[in-house]
Amino acid sequence: MNRANCVRSIPLFQSVDSNWGRRVHCCINWDSHKLNKIQVYGKSTCRTTQKVLEWFNEHNLEIEQIDIISSPPSLEFLQKHVNSDNIKGFLNSRSKVYREKGFGKELPSKTVLLKTMLVDPNLIKRPIVVSIKGVSFGFDENYLSNLK
């Protein structure tokens, strides 16, 4: 979907166009999002993502799955939803980049972390659940229960 064609849209993620090596911004039509379309950014091998997908299946809620590695959230999305006061809560502490860069000991600025998340989306805590009611990082059963 071309950004210019979006009506009242919200940029949710950007990906790299493999043919041209450029960033492609993808967005959703906000009006269609109001139809309770729930989006789940995750990784198929992530156990927490699998747990959230099972929860949605058990509760018969329709979702759109988005591969967080091939289509990570946009910088704008992360800036809006990642809270500076508890930035560690938005990081995947099991990721290779988290360990290699020593983020468990000392965190850089929010700006540096967000850019690192875009370069290596494995650093982002999964899954990200996006709905009309808000955004959740990781498995939050209270948040999910409010989506029913």
Instruction: With a cut of 70, say whether residue 27 has pLDDT above it.
Output: no
Q: How confident is the model at residue 36 (pLDDT cuts 50, 70, 90)?
A: low
Question: Does this model's pTM top 0.85?
Answer: no
Over residues 114-119, mean pLDDT: 96
R_g of the chain, CA atoms, integer Å:
15
d(CA 76, CA 74): 5
Q: Can you tell me the distance from the alpha carbon of 24 to that of 22, in angstroms, rounded to the nearest whole number?
A: 6
- Domains delineated in the chain: 37-145 (3.40.30.10)
- Cβ atoms 114, 75 nearer than 8 A: yes
Task: Give the least confident one: 22-26, 73-77, 108-112, 135-139.
Answer: 22-26
Q: Which residue would you say has higher pLDDT here, 11 or 118?
A: 118
Place of tokens 């988290």: 98
The rounded percent of the chain whose pLDDT value lies above 70 is 76
pLDDT at 86 over 90: no
Looking at residue 12, its pLDDT comes to 43
Q: What is the mean pLDDT of residues 49-72?
A: 96
